[in-house]
């Protein structure tokens, strides 16, 4: 299980600073950050700690097993945006 960012993300990077394993991408010092529509969580690296979800000001982060049906596509989108194979 991993956490998943959805399309309501406003790219303020509040979650990036609190992630203990640095698995939220792109980071603000990455040139791709400026062009990113949303940030994404690497599902293979996430340790399910919930810190990002608590830090997000717009509730754009869900635990994978609590992701509403209408937002399931973001599992694939997070995997693709972080360069992981889709499971
Ligand atoms: S749940 Fe924890 S490890 Fe996973 S992305 Fe959020 S802060 Fe990082
Ligand atoms: S804290 Fe929420 S709104 Fe901010 S970058 Fe992370 S997911 Fe997006």
> 7 is in which domain, residue-wise?
3-81
Distance 60 CA to ligand 1 centre (A): 13
Closest ligand to Cα 42: 1
Cα-flanking dihedrals φ and ψ of residue 18, to 5°?
-95, -10
Pocket of ligand 1 (CB under 6 A): 3, 18-19, 21, 23-24, 41, 46-52
Distance 23 CA to ligand 1 centre (A): 7
For the stretch 28-56, what's the b/e string if a residue is b when 16 or more beta carbons lie within 10 angstroms of its beta carbon?
Answer: eeeeeeeeeebbbbbbeebeeeebbbebb
Tell me if 54 is assigned to some domain.
yes
pLDDT for 85 equals 74
Which has the closest alpha carbon to 51: 20, 24, 6? 20
The total number of structural domains in the chain stands at 1
Give per-residue pLDDT as tens, 12-48: 999 999 999 999 999 999 999 999 999 999 999 999 9
Q: What is the CATH number of the domain that holds 76?
A: 3.30.70.20
Average pLDDT over residues 4-9: 98
Distances (CA, A) of 6 to 14, 59: 15, 9
Residue nearest to atom 6 of ligand 2 (CA): 15
């Amino acid at each position: 299980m991993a956490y998943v960012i959805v399309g309501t993300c406003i790219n303020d990077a509040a979650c990036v600073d609190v992630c203990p394993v640095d698995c939220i991408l792109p980071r603000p010092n990455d040139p791709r950050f400026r062009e990113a529509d949303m940030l994404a969580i690497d599902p293979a690296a996430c340790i399910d700690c919930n810190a990002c979800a608590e830090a997000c000001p717009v509730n754009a982060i869900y635990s994978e097993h609590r992701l509403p049906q209408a937002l399931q596509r973001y599992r694939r989108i997070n995997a693709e945006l972080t360069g992981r194979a889709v499971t």
